[in-house]
Structure 1
Amino acid sequence: MTTVEMQDITFQIGKLPAKKQFHVSRRIAPIIPALLPIYVGLARGGSLMATLEQSPEILKPFAEALAGMPDDAVDYLIDTCMSVVKRQQGSGWANIWSPGGPMFDDIDLSLLLPLTVRVITVNLGPFISGLLTSQSSSPASQAQAG
């Protein structure tokens, strides 16, 4: 489990089952280029909030890419990602999402998008990293470099 603090709330990011990871990756394939700057910032050891605070403009392409997705794909993406997020409640953890939406009144867009990005990077980071590595070592990229 990955723990992250946003807006003075501690969240726990869980692991998506492999099949859900696959379905999320299919839906985000068109927006992976918009996620790359965020992923690179996180891969360099930065926190999501620090990355966004240092470069808030990197969330804009992600938001624009989401805006271009069909509603059902965005709903699936958000519902699936939020299904593995919990928030600290006293000494325990509580799910933040139900099939009907957020379980807490303070879960709004300012938390929803960063949490969605965090779930994606935690669960699909190695997959995205593998794509980047395979693209940079492909014969076409080596021919371009040479």
Structure 2
Amino acid sequence: MEFELKDNHYRVAKMDVFAQFRLSRKLLPMLMGVIGDPKNIKNGGTSMETLLPKMAEVISSMSDEDCNAVIYPCLAVVSRQNGKTWSPVFSQDVLMFDDIDMMDMLQIVGRVVGDALGSFLPTAPANGMDILPAG
């Protein structure tokens, strides 16, 4: 999968099945806690005003270890076009591009999650995790 964010082109490599499983173990219970009944999403019953406070509450209760267990493997499969080459955005627990801010990082992670777990989510997001604002 490829996408563009702030005039930069990104490529997501396929996450291996074991990494997908570990990611789903961390995220699916959290996502179900945020969205509640998946039928509400399909029927348009859950709004951003409802989701954001729940997301903030769930994310703030996650340990640093759990956050890293989600963020690190997602970033590890992403490369960014740098001239004519593709360079990893994350290596040895460090972002490789200084211009990637927190919102960019979260959008990148959201797209990887959508790509890796889309078939497990109640409704697969069209382009990753559309709950984050475009940047």
Q: Is the 8 A contact 1:21 1:123 kept in 2?
A: yes
Aligned length: 114
For residue 67 of structure 1, report the CA deviation from its aligned partner.
Answer: 2.0
C-alpha distance in 2, partners of 1:102/1:22?
24
For residue 123 of structure 1, report the CA deviation from its aligned partner.
Answer: 0.6
* Structure 1: 4+ residue segments shifted above 4 A: 55-61
Find the partner of 1:83 among 76, 89, 104.
76
For residue 65 of structure 1, report the CA deviation from its aligned partner.
Answer: 2.5
Cα 1:13–1:62 change in 2 (3 A) is farther
> AA paired with 1:122?
D
Instruction: Indicate yes or no: 2:1 matched with 1:8.
Output: no
Instruction: State the match for 1:114 in structure 2.
Output: 107
> AA paired with 1:6?
L
For residue 62 of structure 1, report the CA deviation from its aligned partner.
Answer: 3.6
> AA paired with 1:128?
L
Pairwise mapping of residues 1-146 of structure 1 onto structure 2 (< 5 A)? 2-33=1-32, 34=34, 61-129=54-122
In our comparison, the structure showing a higher alpha carbon Rg is 1
C-alpha distance in 2, partners of 1:94/1:127?
29
* Residues 26-58 of structure 1: CA deviation (Å, up to 9, x unaligned): 011232134799xx79xxxxxxxxxxxxx6986
* Residues 90-115 of structure 1: CA deviation (Å, up to 9, x unaligned): 11211000123201111220111111
Instruction: State the match for 2:133 in structure 1.
Output: none
> AA paired with 1:85?
V
Superposition TM-score, scaled by structure 2 size: 0.72
SS, match of residue 11 in structure 1: strand
Q: Larger helix proportion, structure 1 or 2? A: 1
Q: Is the 8 A contact 2:72 2:93 kept in 1?
A: no
Identity %: 31
CA RMSD of aligned residues (A): 2.7
C-alpha distance in 2, partners of 1:128/1:3?
20
Query: What 5-or-longer segments of structure 2 have no aligned partner?
Result: 43-47, 124-135
